[in-house]
A = this chain, B = another copy of it.
Amino acid sequence: MRISELAERSGSSIATVKFYIREGMLPRGEVTSATSAEYGDDHLARLRLISALTDVRGLPLGRVKEILALIDEPDLDPVAVLGRAIGALPPYVNGDRDEYPRAQAVIEALGLTYDPAFSAVPQLEDAIRALEHAGLDTTPGTLRRYADAMRAVALEEVGPLSEMSLPRAISYSVLGTALYEPLMLALRRLAHQHLLSEGTAHRPRRS
């Protein structure tokens, strides 16, 4: 396809496509004449990945480039490379601490894998600390309820990975993490609203 079709199908402007090419984020098309080049489905898929990360999730360009570099040269252990790619997604919390005592205790109690290099560990630490500070319930039974729900969701999500090459798996994991998160959160809020709307059982007392 020509650059105009590529732009249209990806939802980006031609100027934006050219910008990504200049930045080295998108490979040049195959030159077919002095004034035109041909682009393929790989270009389109990559452009959609870039667009989802920048336009939808608002990632800084540097973070998107980190992810693209991992896709282009995934010369690490698959678990490590996927962990690093997911670490380029928000939320960005300070991950340079020596210890994450709350996260470590919870992860071990849940029988999950504790690896302090994985960005979700400091994220969990901060989330638990914020809950404690606000006086909300962080007892093991409550945390396990959330963990069980997330494990059930995650189990379905990782299923397709074993059929994928590592570069494809990175793109799938990053997109899936970035784009199903807002879906889940919206569905949780809608479930609350529905439970309150469908009857008076859960409604607070009128003050």
Q: How many residues of A contact B (CB 8 A)?
A: 87
Closest to A184 in B: B146
A57 to B72, CA, bound (A): 34
Most buried by B among A158, A179, A180, A187: A187
Does A115 sit within 8 A of B, measured CB to CB?
yes
Q: Which of B49, B168, B198, B204 contacts A204 (CB 8 A)?
A: B168
Interface of A is mostly: helix
Closest to A201 in B: B162
Number of copies: 2
Q: Which of B52, B162, B168, B179 contacts A202 (CB 8 A)?
A: B162
- B interface footprint on A175-191 (CB within 8 Å = 1, 0 otherwise): 11101111111111111
Q: Which 9 pairs, one residue from A and one from B, show the smallest C-beta to C-beta distance?
A: A169-B204, A154-B191, A120-B189, A124-B186, A127-B183, A150-B188, A123-B186, A127-B182, A158-B202
15 contacts across the A-B interface (CB closer than 8 A): A49-B134, A51-B134, A82-B196, A118-B193, A121-B190, A124-B183, A124-B186, A127-B182, A131-B183, A149-B184, A155-B195, A157-B192, A164-B204, A166-B205, A184-B184
